[in-house]
Amino acid sequence: MRFILLTKKQVLGLTAVMIAIIITTAVSLTVFASSSKLLPIYNVSTESKKIAISFDAAWGNDDTQTLIDTLAEYGVVATFFVVGDWVDKYPESVKQLSDAGHQIQNHSDSHPHMTNLSTNEMITELKNCNEKIAKITGKTPTLHRCPYGDYNNNVIEAIQSIGMYAIQWDVDSLDWKENATAESIANRVISKTKNGSIILMHNDADHTPEALPTILKTLKEQGYEFVFIEDLIYKENYEILHDGTQCKIEN
């Protein structure tokens, strides 16, 4: 057996090489783990001044008709994410929203934390809500917004497994907060909106009806066109960046 004697300088050199290899491997694994995280669509990369406004409906219903009237006044279409239990309580409002030209999409059947459910339970939540909406509107939803914005890879995979798209938002109005005012809601939305933004509001927050006219009027004056989220997103040949931005992949 032969032994190789190394100088101190050679030992230090080999140690440095090994450390570099370990660091490079760790970084590579970190990048892989990061890139393997599945994300919903937060906003869309586009040069067009198109945006989408959306409302989550899970609890009350006092302001829905006011929202319909305001949206009609400004000629704006909106996407409403509704919970199946809300559909059960207010079927007439679901029909009114649909008849007014707005899209009704899926916000789960009972508003659970989807990450706490099994895959079968997630799919049951999605399908039950879809069936309730389709029964009233004649249209099966294609989009789902997770309750509480709570998701993980299993949730995204379950949504995609039944041909639906997971939707988040990049402009949060925070209209549900106790200290929110019509002015703070409007200022927040207007200041954060950009091309391809998806705006989150709620159908029964205290100051949303008061804030909405300012939001719609100002953003339209800035040249934005309001479209349905379904028409804003890319349906194929796309990627979702680390911040949730959906980008078109050019062939």
Q: How far is CA 180 from CA 60, 66, 70, 211, 223, in A?
A: 18, 19, 20, 10, 27
Query: What would the 3-class secondary structure string for 87-137 be?
Result: HHHCHHHHHHHHHCCCEEEECCCCCCCHHHCCHHHHHHHHHHHHHHHHHHH
Catalytic residues, which ones? 56, 202
Q: What is the rounded distance in angstroms from the CA atom of residue 117 to the CA atom of residue 79?
A: 26
Say what the alpha-carbon torsion angle 121, 126, 127, 132 is, to the nearest 10 degrees: 130
DSSP 202-243: ETT-TTHHHHHHHHHHHHHHTT-EE--HHHHS--SSEEE-TT
